[in-house]
Each structure stands twice: as structure tokens, then as C-alpha cells.
């Protein structure tokens, strides 16, 4: 039994770690001066410790907003977020964040980029160098310690970003579409790498994506969000045992879950529009392009 599955059991049995991340009736409205954008209308969910939860939805539906609120980087408009029993007030070091862009510092080497959190947190560097090297080894970047980010491919940069998020050993990892800027082949590789990492360092994770396949491949649960103002319309458990490989994508069960999710997103859960799915995705793209 892996830790992840243990976390899942804990969630079912309602143990002490059953609500490690707890989001209660959270809403978010952006005030841009001229208009107000209701990004998230009402979201509630909870995550057990050690669980990997994917948040799936069309772009522009407020996934990043939700994640940033969980990270303490955006204030909530209403509702509460509780993490490890403590109400969220601001950023904390038990949370690591990963973005779509690797956000590496171009003037630092791979090793120094990975040690960047240690510098910010003013922890003794010597205690973390071995860990950094081990992480580099694990993600397959051995030999690249002294390279600069611009000498790396997009996939390699995201591997560095993963190491940087893991170096200070946060309990929670929040990932905002970390692989969506990568090409399809690299993305598959990164999914494999992440599955592998997950096997070793079990963390509690929220993973935002708009790829159905990625969500099902990686997660223990998939939360499906609708278009703005968004809520979670369904909480889909993913039953595949760990350790997983991307071979599960060939199974009938996998295809069935994917098509179920696709149906959920496309029909926008009966929002009373003619073709809400297409409209929602198109609108999402427009929002993305305008920003």
C-alpha cells in the first residue's frame, strides 16, 4: 500500500488528516475599477493528506485563481480556506508552488536555482546541497548542475522547477498547469517523471490542468470546474492503483473516465445555453489571448 492510497483511505474513513486542505464556500470577485469579474462563485472541497487532486476546467474558468487562494497569494472574497487545521492568512513555507512558466532565475545555475528557496528562507545551505544533488539525480539532470536555464529545454526547466519546489520539503505542492507550455511528447515524459517523483516523496498536491488525460493519469481525484462564475460540478475518483505508468492510458477504464470528464466539461452541466461547451471554451481562449 502506498502513502497516496493510505491518504485516500484516510479521506474515506474521516481520520485526522482527512481534511488537510479544506476549502469552504470560497468565492472570488476581481474588481478592476470599471467592472467586477466574478471568477469563482462558490467552491467547497477537502483533500486528505497525501492525496493528489487534479483541478480540471476550461481556460479562464478560475483554476489559477483558486490555486493562488490556496497558496495564500490571493485573498478570498468570501469563505475560508484551512490548511493543516490553520486558517489561511498568507503564504507559508509548508506550501510549494509551481507555475506554467518555470520562473527560473536566468542568472543562476541549475543548482543555485534549486537552492534559491534555501537562500530566501535563510536556512543553512550546506545542509541542503546533498538533497539538491539527489533531486537533480532523480529528475535525470545529473551533469547539468552548472548549466544556466537558457541552456536547457522547456522540459528540463520544469524539472528544475520541481526540484526547487521540493528542496525545502513542503507538505503541499500546488501546481498551476506546470506542463501546458510543453510539447505533447515532453509532456508525456514529464507526467511519467511526476508519477515517479510522487512515488518517492508523497505530498499533498493540487494540480491544475486543462488536459483531461493528464488529470486522469496523475490524480487520485479530479475536480471538474465549469466556466465562470465557476463552481466544482463533479468530484471524480480515479481508481487506478499506484505505482502507475502511462500504460494505464490504454485501458478501457481510463478511456471511459476520460470520456465522462469530457462530457462534463463540454455540456457545462446544463447552464441553459445553446452550445455552452463550445461557447465556454471559445470565451476562455479569448480571455487567455487578451491577457
Partner 1 sequence: MKTAPNIARVLGLPIATGITMCVVWHVAVTSGGVPQYLLPAPTEVARKLITSLPELLGHAAISGLEAVASFLLATALGFAGAVALVYAPLLREIFYPSIVGFQLIPKVALAPLFIVWLGTDSVSRIAFATFLSFFPVLISTMTGLQNADPNAVRLSRSLTASEWQTFVSVRIPFSLPYFFSATKVAATLAVTGIVVAEFITANAGLGFLILSSTPRMETLTIFAAILMLCFVGLLLYGAVSLLERAGRRWFKGA
Partner 2 sequence: MSGTARKRLSRLLGARRVVAPLVFLLALFIVWETWLHYLPMSRAVIAPPSAIFATLVNGFPILMKHTLSTLIEIVQGFLLAAVVGIAIGALITISTWTRQAFYPNIVFFQLIPKVAVAPLFVLWLGVGTPSRVAFAVFMAFFAIAIATATGLENTKLETIRLCRSLTASHWQTFTKVRFPFAMPHIFAGLKVGMAMAMIGIIVGEFVTGQEGLGYVIMFASSAGESAPLYAALLLLAALGLALYSCVLLAELAVQRWYGAPFVSEGFA
Ligand X SMILES: Nc1ncnc2c1ncn2[C@@H]1O[C@H](COP(=O)(O)OP(=O)(O)O)[C@@H](O)[C@H]1O
Residue numbers at the binding site for partner 1 (CB under 8 A) = 31-34, 291
45, 47, 51, 62: which one binds ligand X (CB under 6 A): 62
> What CA–CA distance (Å, rounded) separates 176 from 66?
10
Q: Which residues pair with 81 in a beta bridge?
A: 23
Q: Please choose, from the candidates 163, 92, 155, the residue with its C-alpha nearest in 3D space to the C-alpha of residue 129.
A: 163
Nearer to ligand X, 63 or 244 (CB): 63
Per partner kind, with CB cut-offs from 5 to 8 A, the member of ligand X, partner 1, Mg ion, none near residue 65 is: ligand X
49, 63, 159, 244: which one binds ligand X (CB under 6 A): 63
Q: Please choose, from the candidates 117, 126, 109, 209, the residue with its C-alpha nearest in 3D space to the C-alpha of residue 170.
A: 117
* Smallest separation (angstroms) from Mg ion to the CB of 106: 23
Note whether 178 binds partner 2 by CB under 8 A: no
Distant-in-sequence, close-in-space partners of 267: CB < 8 Å, separation ≥ 6: 276, 277
Fill in the DSSP letter of residue 177.
S
> By CB neighbour count within 10 A (0-12 exposed, 13-18 middle, 19+ buried), where does 179 fall?
buried
* Smallest separation (angstroms) from partner 2 to the CB of 21: 15
Note whether 7 binds ligand X by CB under 6 A: no
Q: Which residues pair with 22 in a beta bridge?
A: 46, 82
Q: Pick the piece of the chain touching partner 2 (CB under 8 A) from 103-111, 132-140, 180-188, 214-222.
A: 103-111
Note whether 272 binds partner 2 by CB under 8 A: no
Nearer to partner 2, 113 or 202 (CB): 113
For the chain, report the end-to-end CA distance as a whole number of angstroms. 44
Alpha helices in 97-153 (DSSP H): 110-114, 116-120, 126-138
Binding site residues, ligand X, CB under 6 A: 30, 32, 37, 39, 57, 59-65, 228, 287
Return residues touching partner 2 (CB under 8 A). 68, 71-73, 90-93, 95-97, 99-101, 103, 105-108, 116-117, 119-121, 148-150, 168
Amino acid at each position: 500500500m502506498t502513502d497516496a492510497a493510505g491518504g485516500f483511505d484516510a479521506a474515506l474513513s474521516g481520520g485526522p488528516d482527512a481534511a488537510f486542505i479544506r476549502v469552504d464556500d470560497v468565492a472570488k470577485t476581481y474588481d478592476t475599477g470599471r467592472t467586477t469579474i466574478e471568477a469563482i462563485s462558490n467552491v467547497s472541497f477537502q483533500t486528505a493528506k497525501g492525496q493528489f487532486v487534479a483541478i480540471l476546467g476550461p481556460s479562464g474558468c478560475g483554476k489559477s485563481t483558486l490555486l493562488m487562494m490556496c497558496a495564500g497569494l490571493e485573498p478570498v472574497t468570501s469563505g475560508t480556506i484551512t490548511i493543516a487545521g490553520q486558517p489561511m492568512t498568507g503564504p507559508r513555507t509548508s506550501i510549494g508552488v509551481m507555475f506554467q512558466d518555470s520562473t527560473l532565475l536566468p542568472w543562476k545555475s541549475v543548482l543555485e536555482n534549486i537552492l534559491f528557496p534555501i537562500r530566501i528562507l535563510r536556512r543553512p545551505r550546506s545542509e541542503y546541497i546533498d538533497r539538491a544533488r539527489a533531486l537533480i539525480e532523480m529528475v535525470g539532470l545529473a551533469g547539468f548542475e552548472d548549466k544556466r536555464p537558457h541552456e536547457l529545454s522547456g522540459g528540463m526547466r520544469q524539472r528544475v522547477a520541481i526540484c526547487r519546489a521540493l528542496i525545502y520539503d513542503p507538505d503541499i505542492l500546488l501546481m498551476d498547469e506546470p506542463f501546458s507550455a510543453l510539447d505533447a511528447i515532453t509532456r508525456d515524459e514529464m507526467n511519467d517523471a511526476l508519477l515517479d517523483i510522487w512515488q518517492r516523496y508523497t505530498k499533498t498536491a493540487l494540480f491544475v490542468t486543462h488536459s483531461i488525460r493528464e488529470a486522469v493519469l496523475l490524480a487520485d481525484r479530479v475536480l471538474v470546474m465549469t466556466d465562470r462564475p465557476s463552481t466544482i460540478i463533479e468530484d471524480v475518483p480515479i481508481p487506478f492503483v499506484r505505482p502507475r505508468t502511462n500504460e494505464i492510458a490504454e485501458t478501457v477504464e481510463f478511456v471511459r473516465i476520460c470520456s465522462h470528464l469530457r462530457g462534463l466539461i463540454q455540456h457545462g452541466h446544463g447552464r441553459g445555453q445553446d452550445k455552452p461547451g463550445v461557447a465556454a471554451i471559445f470565451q476562455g481562449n479569448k480571455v487567455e489571448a487578451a491577457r
